[in-house]
A and B are shown apart, each in its own frame.
Chain A
Amino acid sequence: MAMTETTSRSFTERLEPYIAIIGPMVMILAILVFMGIVEPTRYFRTTNLNLILLDAALYMPMAMAMTFVITQRGIDLSIGSIAALSGIIMAFLIKQYGVSVYIAVPIAISLGAVMGLINGLIITRFNVPDLIGTLAMDLVYRGFALVLAKGLVLARFPDFLTDIGRGQIPGFVPIPVLIGLATMIAGYFILHRSYFGRYTVAIGSNPEAAELTGISVNRHKVYAYVLCGACAALAGVMLTGKLNAIQATSAPYFNLHVIAAVVVGGTSLFGGRAAIVGSLAGVLLLSMMINALVTLRIEFFWQSVASGVVIISSVALYTWMQKKDRDGAGGLMAGLNTPEGKKMLRFCAALIGVLIALLAVGLLTAGNPNPSG
């Protein structure tokens, strides 16, 4: 008995550093096996795999940057709007002012960096919590994009831009995939080999300790948001190129999608644990999942449900694995037998009972249907 306990514990201990990679890898494998059985011909076509990579490439730069922000115990909910706004401004510069595309793209990325800087300064100087601060700035940036574009769709851009967004090196992977992977590799080196990366982990792990050892916590937080803004703008450029069009309402699901990818990859929402390779795996996993839903002809809107479920389950799983002491837990259902558990159970039952009763009354007393359209 004691023997098995020690071996199993040391096994999980040895496993722990790699869990960040193993988690998404297992899920990727599960999708591959499932699709291999259900729909192998359409899912594993080269064109489809290309499509998956093309979709994933868009999220890679943002996932890399978001890994740093989340590792610092922060969050950035404005990346979708930053991508849209910098894309719109770039489009206007090219279409209306005749600015060269080779200058407009760097301008867009710097604009994104400036928007990230504003986020960072709001959070560090005005002490607005990151959740509220970036959520509010998301509204602001989206609002500016809507004001500027006035509902227009700007389309047909120079080749350089479409190359960035969907160019293909013959017989090899698409150009955006190369860009995405390059940002991931850069992120890996920044995390492990730069002051910024080291301090990012330190700040997320123990902000007071970081402050005491003389690290400028606020400055490095601002750096992370600037990186996030710049990468969001890069994604905006890639999106514009990919669609060869941009409008103010583009990139609506970026925020949660990117956060999901990062969290699924094993970066801790509670800070201090960063996994760039995990974020890459997370991005691939989400793209594969969404593509699988499309391949299976499941309605597009289900992907929102799927993303949410993936976030919740992976965070819950990591939290559970973090808990070292599982003695006396006695299985999943044991909690229901405690007095507290019973109260909760009664409360849930009452709430659902009320809902069912109301539904029953509503349906019983229902008159003729009255279609809204």
Chain B
Amino acid sequence: MSEPLVKMRGITKRFGGVTALSNVDLDAHAGEVLAIVGDNGAGKSTLIKVLTGVYQPSSGEIMLDGRPVAFSNHAEAIEEGIDAVYQTLALADHLDPAANMFLGNELTRKIFGITMLDNKRMRAETERVLMERLGVKLKSLDAPTESLSGGQRQAVAIARAVYHDGLRVLVMDEPTAALGPQETARTLKLIEAVKAQGLAVILISHSLDDVFQVSDRIHVQRRGQCVGVVKTAESNITEVLGMIVGAEEAA
């Protein structure tokens, strides 16, 4: 495989006396889905928060496309093309999908020299991005986002991330945790669509079924350390489960 798009080397993160991550390496390639699995407190979330600039590593380095990068906040990571879709989706339920998709990044136009939000263009763009990049068509773009189904809300959140042209790495934190089987299938399809466009997708999930269905490689975290990376096609749920709970060690 080619040179990884994201290379994290020797990442250590301490919170006071607690070491959340110790010496973790992570590779993510463009056009593949890397799943990160592990028990609660294994350091999954901390690891991606380091990648997305929310936390700064105590030591270690991040390479993006072979170039060392350091983010002091999330906005800088977005600038470099690394964005995340959170489990809560970070949607404002009272706003319509278009307003949510452009939240914090609104399109404007000038009328008599006064800058105004261009609601019409935002709506058209939302419709276009949802259709072209994710293959999703919403029944109504006028209804508030709270009236959408779980999968549709997911689509809006992903559309917001992929609308940014420079996006190269999309991190998804537990996207299927609160969804039923049908909505989960739709969300996994969305992940496939994003991957097919040549983005590196990093998926955090507790559901090994989902992970095996959609991922190319699986990065297993345990107690703040990476205990192995396996190719999904060459592994099975039992083996990964064993790595998560540390079965060999116990035996």
Q: What is the distance, in angstroms, from A137's C-beta to the closest C-beta of chain B?
A: 29
Task: Determine whether A208 belongs to the interface, using a CB cutoff of 8 Å to chain B.
Answer: yes
Given contacts A194-B116, A210-B103, A215-B103, contact A205 B90 (CB under 8 A): no
Interface residues in A243-278 by Cβ distance below 8 A to B read: 272-273
Q: Is the CB of B90 within 8 A of A208?
A: yes
Q: Is the CB of B117 within 8 A of A206?
A: no
Question: How many B residues, CB 8 Å from partner?
Answer: 21
Q: Which one, B39-47, B92-100, B131-139, B179-187, is touching chain A?
A: B92-100
Nearest neighbor of B86 in chain A, beta-carbon distance: A212
- CB neighbours (8 Å) of A206 from chain B are 90-93
Interface residues in A44-78 by Cβ distance below 8 A to B read: none
Q: Is the CB of A208 within 8 A of B88?
A: yes
Q: What is the distance, in angstroms, from A180's C-beta to the closest C-beta of chain B?
A: 22
Q: Is the CB of B94 within 8 A of A213?
A: no
- CB neighbours (8 Å) of A208 from chain B are 88, 90
- CB neighbours (8 Å) of B104 from chain A are 210, 213-215
Q: What is the distance, in angstroms, from A201's C-beta to the closest C-beta of chain B?
A: 6
- CB neighbours (8 Å) of B116 from chain A are 189, 193-194
Interface residues in B182-224 by Cβ distance below 8 A to A read: none
User: In the complex, A224 Cα to B151 Cα: how many Å?
Assistant: 34
Main SS of chain A's interface residues?
A: helix
Task: Determine whether A38 belongs to the interface, using a CB cutoff of 8 Å to chain B.
Answer: no
Task: Determine whether A348 belongs to the interface, using a CB cutoff of 8 Å to chain B.
Answer: no
User: In the complex, A201 Cα to B96 Cα: how many Å?
Assistant: 11
- Contact flags B104-120 to A (C-beta < 8 A → 1, else 0): 11100000000011010
Given contacts A195-B106, A215-B103, contact A209 B90 (CB under 8 A): yes
Task: Determine whether B74 belongs to the interface, using a CB cutoff of 8 Å to chain A.
Answer: yes
Q: Is the CB of B92 within 8 A of A209?
A: yes
| Of the residues B78, B88, B94, B117, contact of A205 by C-beta under 8 Å | B94
Given contacts A193-B117, A194-B116, A194-B117, contact A273 B94 (CB under 8 A): yes
Interface residues in A175-214 by Cβ distance below 8 A to B read: 189, 192-195, 197-198, 201-202, 204-206, 208-210, 212-214
Given contacts A212-B86, A272-B94, contact A202 B117 (CB under 8 A): no
Task: Determine whether B75 belongs to the interface, using a CB cutoff of 8 Å to chain A.
Answer: yes
Given contacts A195-B117, A213-B104, contact A205 B95 (CB under 8 A): yes
- CB neighbours (8 Å) of B93 from chain A are 205-206, 272
Residues of B within 8 A of A (CB): 74-75, 78, 86, 88-95, 99, 103-106, 116-117, 119, 160
List 7 additional A-B contacts (Cβ < 8 Å) besides A194-B117, A206-B91, A209-B92: A194-B116, A195-B117, A197-B117, A202-B95, A205-B93, A213-B103, A213-B105
